[in-house]
Amino acid sequence: MSETIEYSLSFILATSNRLTFLKITLEKLINNVETNEEIVVVDGASTDGTKEYLQQLYHEGKIHQFISEPDKNQAHGWNKAMLLARGTIIKKIIDDDVFCYTAIRKCKQYMLSNPSVDAIISNDLSSSTNNYKQIDKLSRLSQFEKWRDEQIPSFTFGDVHLLIRRNSISFIGLYNTSFVMMDWEYALRISYVKANLVYYTGYNALSVSHPGTVSANKNIKQIAEQGKRGSYFYQYMGDGADISIWSKIKIGLGKYILKRKKILNQKNDNKQNFETIYKSFYCYIDELNQNGQFTFLSSNDA
């Protein structure tokens, strides 16, 4: 009779035809995974060698669960990964972003010690492969505090640094497969339903932009339509109370379009140097978390 393993944490990853980045991210994850943690990978029937690479890792016992089949869309792939997860806590790993596993485990331990917590978010970092020496620090702490103090009904944050309790999915739900901006809608939903959310002032992740990133290829018209719909449903007024919802959406779209043009127009001279670039990213986020003094802020601290 086989022994059932109780996993404290499931790292989930959904990918499709991004083998170059996937190899960097998975190798780092595999080297950092602990015995009571699992790696779950969902491949969207890739044709660039990803499926064969993942099959090899699975047969070698380096990843714990793996499927390769067509997805309806991005949210569909992530939902499959979430449903496969067996860990008490789930951590999403995006195949082209950078993660600090020391910070992630601090968040995991906090959630294990505080079973009423549904999810944890953190500060974020942002950079680009075309200008990798510039790393921006990002924070949603002020919005979290306004939400915690019931000044606003919802707020947005990136899911790149999100940890969620598996049992809380029955309350929060899976990703909405009708939204292109699935992480944006998911953040609004988590806050709107008043999930027990905790803010970690450290840095779980570093978001990386490059010409092939998913956010550089989204449909502008869909973003506008879904932004209007989501803002209305979740009573999301944006970060400036004096600007109308639709104006905020247009401002956001303008910034998005400019960013997209900038990324796509840049010559990507770093294609052969991705490993070097990502190594520098990992060094930066690890040193930042090692040298900083960070804390957990509960939504019940008001």
Q: Domains (ranges, CATH) in the chain?
A: 1-96 (3.90.550.10), 97-149+172-302 (no CATH)
**pLDDT attached to residue 255:** 46
CA 208 – CA 52 distance, rounded (Å): 25
- What mean pLDDT value characterizes the chain? 89
> What would the two tokens of residue 252 be?
């956001």
162-213 pLDDT tens trace: 999 999 999 999 999 999 889 999 999 999 999 999 999 999 999 999 876 6
Match 């949603």 to its residue by tokens: 140
3-state SS string for the chain: CCCCCCCCEEEEEEECCCHHHHHHHHHHHHHHCCCCEEEEEEECCCCCCHHHHHHHHHHCCCCCEEEECCCCCHHHHHHHHHHHCCCCEEEECCCCCEECHHHHHHHHHHHHHCCCCCEEEEEEEEEECCCCCCCEEECCHHHHHHHHCCCCCCCCCCHHHCEEEHHHHHHHCCCCCCCCCHHHHHHHHHHHCCCCEEEEEEEEEEEEECCCCHHHCCCHHHHHHHHHHHHHHCCCCCCCCCCCHHHHHHHHHHHHHHHHHHHHHCCCCCHHHHHHHHHHHHHHHHHHHHHCCCCEEECCCC
* Torsions phi, psi for 202 (to 5 deg): -85, -160
Distance CA 64, CA 41 (A): 8
What's the pLDDT tens digit per position in 37-78?
999 999 999 999 999 999 999 999 999 999 999 999 999 999
**What percentage of the chain reaches a pLDDT higher than 70?**
85
Confidence at residue 214, expressed as pLDDT on a 0 to 100 scale: 54
Q: What is the pLDDT of residue 257?
A: 43
Angle between helices 220-233 and 182-192 (to 10 degrees): 0
